[in-house]
Amino acid sequence: MSEAVTPRHARHTGGLMRSIYLPRTADALAFAMSTYGIPLLVLATTRSAALTGVAFALEWIPRLAAFGWAGSVVDRRGAAVVFHLASLGRALALAAGAVLLHLHPSGTVASATVMVLAATTGVLTEFSYIAAETAGAAAEQDGGPTVSRPSCSASTRRRPWPVRRSPGCSCLPVRR
């Protein structure tokens, strides 16, 4: 595809390591920290298992609600822009939460800070996840022969449609 007709979310000008793999690794670490670290932080600050469950719900309910919205924003603005802004927003939210928790290590302010942090990081994690998956799919499509693809045995099954071989790999069937 030429640059003029490539969708914005599918463009990646840097190398795959710098533009895809390193950001996805950092995002996976941030995802793990927010998924498991926020509930543990709630447990440490409130000493309440019930509030830990509430924080987990506050993290996942907005995240699931933002799923469709994140996809449309990635399609409009591009995966790289959304990924970087979501990661920056998540880092700023965590920094602000760390400052507030340092100033108010326990009590209502600490509980409210961690609950808001759970919801905020949940939504921003969803945006970065959708952007990373979109960029990864685009990299796989445009990666050529070096990208991992299914084995040729997958194309030997009987298909109800005519099989046309894709130009990048002689073993991948493409539906007409």
Tens-digit pLDDT profile for residues 36-60: 888 888 888 778 889 888 888 888 8
CB atoms within 10 A of CB 116: 16
**Segments in 10-107 forming alpha helices (H):** 16, 22-32, 38-46, 49-65, 67-77, 79-103
Residue 159 lies in a domain: no
φ/ψ region of 6 (left if φ > 0, alpha if ψ in -120 to 50, else beta) reads: beta
Residues 34 and 125 sit within 8 Å (Cβ to Cβ): yes
Q: Is 161 in a helix, a strand, or coil? A: coil
pLDDT at 88 exceeding the cut of 80: yes
Total residues found in the chain within this entry: 176
Residue 123 lies in a domain: yes
Residues 115 and 93 sit within 8 Å (Cβ to Cβ): no
* CA distance linking residue 16 with residue 20, whole number of Å: 5
Residue 153 lies in a domain: no
State percent of the chain over pLDDT 70. Answer: 67
* CA distance linking residue 7 with residue 131, whole number of Å: 13
Residue 170 lies in a domain: no
92 is written with which tokens? Answer: 């700023």
pLDDT value, residue 4: 53
- Domains in the chain: how many in total? 1
* CA distance linking residue 110 with residue 98, whole number of Å: 10
Helix (H) or strand (E) run with residue 163 in it: strand 163-165
Backbone angles phi, psi at 174, to 5 degrees: -125, 130
Residue 99 lies in a domain: yes
Residue 101 lies in a domain: yes
pLDDT at 80 exceeding the cut of 70: yes
Residue 158 lies in a domain: no
Domain coverage including residue 68: 8-144
Residue 138 lies in a domain: yes
CB atoms within 10 A of CB 162: 9
* Angle at 10 (CA atoms; ends 74, 152), nearest 5 degrees: 120
**Average pLDDT of the chain, as a whole number:** 75
pLDDT at 159 exceeding the cut of 50: no
101 versus 157: the higher-pLDDT residue is 101
pTM recorded for the entire structure: 0.65
